[in-house]
A and B are shown apart, each in its own frame.
Chain A
Amino acid sequence: MRDKPNGAALLDLARRVLRDELLAELPEDARYRARMVANAMAITAREISDGSRTQEAERRALAALYDEAPTPAGQPETEQLDDALARLNWWLAAEIRGGRRDGDARVHALLRESARDRLRLVNPKALQDGDQ
């Protein structure tokens, strides 16, 4: 068991020092770069906190679309999460391109959810209030 604070919390603390204290002391031309660094740290901290939650949710939604039985809880995965997501997304992408999912409301909802999950990680402010 690791001691606290965990990696995400440390990264967040480090980012706050950079943003709230160091930024003001930097010359003007270095501030833009420092803001980029802070932004990269923020995304990484959110990714660490999220773990594989949103990716698991995406896989569940895609698997349900194709009537694949999800792996029962506690059972070891036979397929890595990344591979499963790639496989299912390729399949869906090909179906859409081939015109086999035109206007499909279920697919549209799934795609929106996936885009929103990715947006929440990189720029949560862009998600409108009450729409989270």
Chain B
Amino acid sequence: MRVGWWRVLQALAGVAFLTGVAGAVVLGPDSRFVTGPHAIDTDVSAVVTQPGVLTWENLQVEVLAEVPANKPVFVGLGNSVDVMSYLDSTRRLEVTGFRTPWSPQMELIDGNPAAPAAPTALDWWLDGQGGLGGAAIDTRLPDETVSVAIVAVGEANLRGLEVSVAYGLHGGFARSLGLIAAGAAIVALVQLLLVRSEDEEDVVEDVVYVVVDEDGTEREISADELDELGSYEVVEETVVEDTPVEQEPPR
């Protein structure tokens, strides 16, 4: 393999190493980044993200919704076609934009005070959880357009709502450590290979000529000696590496 390709390989390994370091530092040992709780001042019965607000896939997201006085609440993730149809007639807060870690833009949409059916009775949630005083989902965003909804169950509303969000990569910390180890090992290994290769290039080669004297005796001479001696018929030309030569034991 040419030296250039080795260097490319080494650079890739270096990138992997740095990515691993960044991942490990950002995610931490629990593989996630947590923000909240954030208070949302509202008396509606549903908060929902508009289609296209959640733009990521494969991101591990945990949403925790807490309401006071043990009010029943539901948190769910569903295809936006389903979620928006479900809450279409409901007075709600729509999250129209969002920046991580927590920077939502919201719009109040008027409608009926309560959702048309209990969220727990619907079969199309990709993930959902109901509870008294709080509910949470821990889910990976899929490769489809989805919305997250926080819905008050029954006659309750979401007054006093607090939301916490955690983002992460499932097993992210372990993967980061893996990248660090693999990247570092490959950088070192490639470096070792390249250094050794350079050493091999430094080996001095001696050319030895075998000449035959007038009396028929063969002897070895160097190239310099050959030049001094003048014209000779070269019988054999041998390349000798500059390595220790084992001496034959005396007989």
A and B held together in a complex: no
